[in-house]
Amino acid sequence: MTRFDLHGKKAIITGAGRGIGKALALGIAEAGAEVAVVSRTASDLQEVVSAIEAKGGVAFPVEVDLTVSDAADRVVKKVVEGLGGVHILINNAGMNIRKKAHEVTEEEWDRVLDLNLKAAFFMSQAAGKIMCEQRYGRIVNIASVAGVEALRTGVAYGASKAGLIQMTRVLALEWSKFGVNVNAIAPWYFRTPLTESLLNEEAFVQEVLQRTPSGRIGDVEDLVGPAIFLSSDAASYISGQTISVDGGMSIYGF
């Protein structure tokens, strides 16, 4: 359907080198957008760019550490110069340090919050200025059910994702009148490099599955459809919302 068609749109996807970000980059490109893939790792970027180009898409690599001062402004400027604009931003870059709350250090807290929340805000700010001026834009923040439900050994991560969800609401309140819709997706456990070690523990997997009505661990492809939807004109009257993509987990909590 044309409402889901992203041809003519320029998209930025952070943390696009692997895992969820890679799947989203490939999916958004397949839907027709020209995609700027952002990552700290050059080899990961090249692999994603090659995969997009092999399918006839347009990919623009940006190697950067988003926690560095002014990185967001530099990324958006480079993308606008390279692709000719920006219409879609997917803030996916993130990390987790799994520790009991009394063991978390200040340095670890800052590392998680700087990437998961601070970088997402300043990327949104830099892209949002352009989107508001052109009176069109779609921002999709990859949050987590951890921003709503309390998950063990994830205090900094949970705080960052809760902040991301509230940031989504505030930005939507301020920018929707300019045609800029801001929404979030909250995944449960998906098989990615970030969760690989946990999901190799059978006891942990069984505990997760007991709280997942769909009875399976998520696949990154399960996130592509919701991301395309929120990035498209099909979601033109949706803003400030967080869609849980969790196999029904949020029915139970954890």
Please list the active-site residues. Answer: 157
What is the enclosing helix (H) or strand (E) of 89? strand 88-91
Residue 129 tokens, joined: 């200025």
Length of the chain (residues): 254
Exposed / middle / buried, residue 80 (Cβ in 10 Å: 0-12, 13-18, 19+): middle
Residue 35 tokens, joined: 């995609």
CB 59 within 8 A of CB 35: yes
In order of 159, 182, 185, the CA distances from 230 in angstroms are: 24, 9, 9
What is the enclosing helix (H) or strand (E) of 161? helix 155-175
Distance separating alpha carbons of residues 145 and 253, to the nearest angstrom: 9
Q: What is the full DSSP assignment across 24-82?
A: HHHHHHHTT-EEEEEES-HHHHHHHHHHHHHTT--EEEEE--TTSTTHHHHHHHHHHHH
Residue 50 tokens, joined: 């090659």
Residue 154 is which amino acid?
Answer: G
Distance separating alpha carbons of residues 22 and 13, to the nearest angstrom: 9
